[in-house]
Structure 1
Amino acid sequence: MSAPVIAIDAMGGDFGPRSIVEASLACLLAKPSLHLTLVGQAPLIEQLIASKPDADRSRLSVVNAEEVITMDDRPALALRGKPDSSMRVALQLVKSGQAQACVSAGNTGALMALSRFVLKTLPGIDRPAMVAAMPTQRGYCHLLDLGANVDCSAQHLYQFAVMGSVAAEALGVVRPRVALLNVGTEDIKGNQQVKLAAALLQTAPGLNYVGFIEGDGLYRGEADVVVCDGFVGNILLKSSEGLATMIGERIETLFSANFLSRAVGALAMPMLRRLKDDLAPARHNGASFLGLQGIVVKSHGSAGVQGFQSAIARALIEIQENLPERLSGRLEKLL
């Protein structure tokens, strides 16, 4: 396999090019075989790179793109009104084979619309789905959809389950347990779409479907892949991130309240820091768009340097596992 090349939308996200360039340079140091192409306003990107005297330019290139898709831009404007946006040019590099993946922290709706337009979906897939790893008591589970598809039919949920199972296998999970997120575990619970999706999944050959799961079951690690529509998935993801951050901050406040608590905290802090790092949203940043004829990873818009590094690392794993090809082969048998 040739050296992997990842196209980076350097203009997206809340912190802009400065954070993305720093994260990209850090990834190059950590991954000796990785090549990155930063796409965006070249003079600004070059200036940021020049401010890092130890930057390795041998595996780093810059492609100019004058236009920027903002967080407020509608997907229709991104498609028709900004043909030279950094996001679109980065996706075109994947389409042309000059890169094997694209990573962006930009507008999610625009990224999804452009990805579908530029890369197209795999045969048999109606809509791509966003998937990310969620920490559980037993390790991680893969949750999808995370917001790309607010309204889903039973067939869409079935497709998400198949794609999620293949993605989990690519990441090392043996015979992934697949579950549908629901308001109860009984067969009579849930809306019509969830019930119909369950009927489809029960007869899917080779899929390890384990039934309905509730939110607390997800965190207990009762499934490796949890499927829901994007409305529910996005709320669950954002709530989980907010809860993890709040718990970490509350713990630090409690252990700094007075002399006694600081003394106790000094003993417990190494373990608490380890727990905080394990649950930190930045460590799990990077949602994949499954179902496309190419690899696209969406970084959280508010991700800092560490978070964007995690998104690049996710893209690299999917390149190494040739995820779109694996998905395509499995989908032929199940769809």
Structure 2
Amino acid sequence: MSAPVIAIDAMGGDFGPHCIVPACLQSLAEFPSLHLVLVGQSSLLEELVSAEPSVDRSRLRILHAADVIGMAERPSQALRAKADSSMRVALQLVRDGEAQACVSAGNTGALMALSRYVLKTLPGIDRPAMVTAIPTEAGHTHLLDLGANVDCSAEHLYQFAVMGMVAAEALGIERPRIALLNIGTEDVKGNQQVKLAASLLQQAPGLNYVGFVEGDGLYRGEADVVVCDGFVGNILLKASEGLAGMIAGRIQRLFSSSLLARLAGVVAMPLLRGLQAELSPARHNGASFLGLQGIVVKSHGSAGVEAFRSAIRLAHREIREDLPQRLHGRLEHLLL
């Protein structure tokens, strides 16, 4: 396999190149065969890269793009008026075979719209879906969709389940258990789309469909792939991130509330730090756009250096697993 090449939208996110460039340079050190193309305002990128003279420039290229898509910009505006945006140029590198993946922390709606326009979807897929692995008691669960598709039909949910299964298999999970997120586990629960999707999944050969799962069952690890529409998935993900932050803050305040509590904190701190590292959002940053003819990874807009490195790691792994080709090879046998 040739050396992996990842195109980076270096102007995206809340912190832009001042965060993204250090993350990229550290990723080059982490993966000796990795090549990166930083896309954005070349003068600024060159200044930031030149501040680190030890970087291997043979594996790093800077490609100029004059436009930047704002975090609050409408996707339609990004499509029509920003032909030379860093996001679009990075995606075009994937389309043209000059890179195998694109990573961006930019505007999610614009990234999805441009990805569909530039890369197109795989045959049989109506809509790409955003997926990420979230920590559970049993390990990890792949959750999709995370916000790319607010309104979904039963057929869309079925396609998400198939794509999620293939993504889980790529990580070594044999016969991934697939579930639909619902307000109860009984067959009579849920809206019409979820019930129809359940019927499709029950009839599909080759899918290990285990039924409905509730939110608490998701975190117990009752399924390897959990499917929902993007409206529900995005709320679940953001609520989970907020809950984790709230619990961490309360624990910290409790251990500083008195002398006895501080002493207890000294004893418990190694365990708490290990748990914090395991559940850290930075460690799990990066959502894949499944269903495209190319690899696109969306980093959280507020990601710091370590979190953006996690998104690059995810893209690197998907290149190694050749995820789009793996999806393409399975879809014709599994789609309706």
- What range describes the TM-score normalised by the shorter chain of this pair? over 0.9
Give the aligned partner of residue 229 of structure 2: 229
**RMSD in angstroms over aligned alpha carbons?**
0.7
Q: Are the equivalent residues in 2 in contact too, given 1:245–1:280 (CA < 8 A)?
A: no
**Segments of 4+ moved more than 4 angstroms:** none
Q: How does the TM-score come out when normalised to structure 2?
A: 0.99
Q: In structure 1, how many angstroms separate the alpha carbons of the residues matched to 2:169 and 2:229?
A: 22
Give the aligned partner of residue 308 of structure 1: 308
Give the aligned partner of residue 278 of structure 1: 278
The superposition leaves residues 133-181 of structure 1 with CA deviations (integer Å, 9 ceiling, x where unpaired) of 1100000000000000000000000000000000000011111000000
Match runs of 1:142-221 below 5 Å? 142-221=142-221
Give the aligned partner of residue 240 of structure 1: 240
Give the aligned partner of residue 263 of structure 2: 263
Q: Are the equivalent residues in 2 in contact too, given 1:185–1:212 (CA < 8 A)?
A: yes
Q: In structure 2, how many angstroms separate the alpha carbons of the residues matched to 1:3 and 1:247?
A: 42
Give the aligned partner of residue 251 of structure 2: 251
The amino acid across from 2:254 in the alignment is L
Q: Are the equivalent residues in 2 in contact too, given 1:91–1:119 (CA < 8 A)?
A: yes
Q: In structure 2, how many angstroms separate the alpha carbons of the residues matched to 1:41 and 1:248?
A: 38
Q: In structure 1, how many angstroms separate the alpha carbons of the residues matched to 2:208 and 2:219?
A: 19
The superposition leaves residues 315-335 of structure 1 with CA deviations (integer Å, 9 ceiling, x where unpaired) of 011000000001011100011
Q: In structure 2, how many angstroms separate the alpha carbons of the residues matched to 1:156 and 1:118?
A: 21
- Identity %, equivalent residues: 75
**Per-residue deviation at 1:51?**
1.6
Is 1:42 matched up with 2:42?
A: yes
Give the aligned partner of residue 29 of structure 1: 29
SS of corresponding position for 2:72: coil
Q: In structure 2, how many angstroms separate the alpha carbons of the residues matched to 1:244 and 1:72?
A: 26
Give the aligned partner of residue 102 of structure 1: 102
**Per-residue deviation at 1:298?**
0.2
**Per-residue deviation at 1:205?**
1.2
Give the aligned partner of residue 54 of structure 1: 54
**Per-residue deviation at 1:243?**
1.1
Is 1:122 matched up with 2:122?
A: yes
Q: In structure 1, how many angstroms separate the alpha carbons of the residues matched to 2:52 and 2:265?
A: 37
**Per-residue deviation at 1:252?**
1.6
The amino acid across from 1:296 in the alignment is V
The amino acid across from 1:270 in the alignment is P
Q: In structure 2, how many angstroms separate the alpha carbons of the residues matched to 1:33 and 1:237?
A: 33
**Per-residue deviation at 1:186?**
0.2
The amino acid across from 1:311 in the alignment is A
The amino acid across from 2:324 in the alignment is P
SS of corresponding position for 1:284: coil
The amino acid across from 2:159 in the alignment is Q
SS of corresponding position for 1:163: helix
**Per-residue deviation at 1:49?**
0.8
| Count of matched residue positions in the alignment of Structure 1 and Structure 2 | 335
SS of corresponding position for 2:66: coil
The superposition leaves residues 239-282 of structure 1 with CA deviations (integer Å, 9 ceiling, x where unpaired) of 11111122112212211222211111111101101111111111
Give the aligned partner of residue 66 of structure 1: 66
**Per-residue deviation at 1:99?**
0.2
The amino acid across from 2:325 in the alignment is E
